[in-house]
Chains A and B, each alone.
Chain A
Amino acid sequence: MTITLAHYVVLSALLFAIGIIGILTRRNAIGILMSLELLFNAAAINMVAFSKYLTPSEIYGDIFTIFIIAIAAAESVLGLAIILAMFRKRETVNADEMNIMKY
């Protein structure tokens, strides 16, 4: 049996679901950011697989995935910087203890 596009889409759906569980159940803000990376990767797998199967001669899916990776890196850097600044002020990295907007 050959691997079809449906296999890749099901894989990315399962990865997306696992990432959502991680976002909703983690208390640590770093854990939430890392679960977000799972969502980005699920989307990126979709992009590449659709591009390879539907338009094999064009590679726009690859290009979009490169941009996804670059923007995810920027997002991760800023998120971790905010968490670090928050840890200095509040002495916690747990999302459920960050309950005031102004300190």
Chain B
Amino acid sequence: MVETILFYGFAALILISALLMIIAPNIYHSALFLALCLFGVAGIYVVLNSYFLAGIQVLVYIGAVVVLALFVINLTRRILDVDSDQHNEQLLPAVIISGLTAFLIISAVLKTNWGTMIAHRVAQDNTALTGRLLLNEFVLPFEIVSVLLLAALIGAISIVAGDKGAQK
């Protein structure tokens, strides 16, 4: 019962804030609605008993990605201009395409015979098991991701810094 209420609450939070995010005329408001939506996804992880993932979601997405997006918005907004129109004229084709995509996925889900597999699940917290798996079975992808993050760090710095000679 509690799970039902929490699921519908967080689902409504996610969908409403995602809709507001894509229709917000101000890009800054859009980033704040994105933070709200990601917070709802963290809540969904809590409903699914993945507490570690919920923490990672809040720390990495809301704490890093959204804040970075806000910084870049502040750095790239033309202060003297009025906020120009943030949307192009492709709203109707976009709604049709994404509506068809959602219809396809949802009808496939509803037509599938899942049997009794999806009725309920075992509620358990898997944080300790996550750590053990990350350092045993998945240690190679773990290290590759850390190298990838280092490469992204160096790449971002070199892209943004540019070469000093060209700027003068």
Contacts and interface: CB of A to CB of B under 8 A. Distances in A.
A5 to B, nearest CB: 4
A59 to B, nearest CB: 5
Given A17-B98, A21-B98, A4 B119 contact: yes
A2 interface: yes
B5 to A, nearest CB: 10
Contact of B109 (A13, A24, A45, A67): A13
Interface in B112-168: 114, 117-122, 124, 126, 129-130, 133-134, 138, 141, 145, 148-149, 151-153, 155-157, 159-160, 162
Given A24-B97, A73-B60, A87-B76, A2 B68 contact: no
B60 A69 contact: yes
B69 A10 contact: no
B86 A77 contact: no
Contacts of A25: 22, 87-88, 90-91, 94
Interface of A: 1-11, 13-22, 24-28, 30-31, 33-35, 37-38, 41, 44-45, 48-49, 52-54, 56-57, 59-60, 62-63, 65-67, 69-78, 80-85, 87-88, 91, 93-94, 96
Nearest to B77: A93
Q: Summarize B's interface: helix, strand, loop or mixed.
A: helix
Chain A contact residues, majority secondary structure: helix
Given A9-B109, A22-B21, A57 B122 contact: yes
Nearest to B122: A56
A62 B85 CA distance: 39
A77 B156 contact: yes
27 contacts: A2-B119, A3-B7, A4-B119, A7-B11, A9-B106, A11-B14, A14-B15, A18-B15, A21-B95, A22-B22, A24-B97, A25-B22, A27-B85, A28-B27, A28-B86, A30-B72, A30-B76, A41-B37, A52-B121, A67-B141, A67-B145, A70-B149, A73-B60, A74-B152, A80-B72, A84-B76, A91-B78
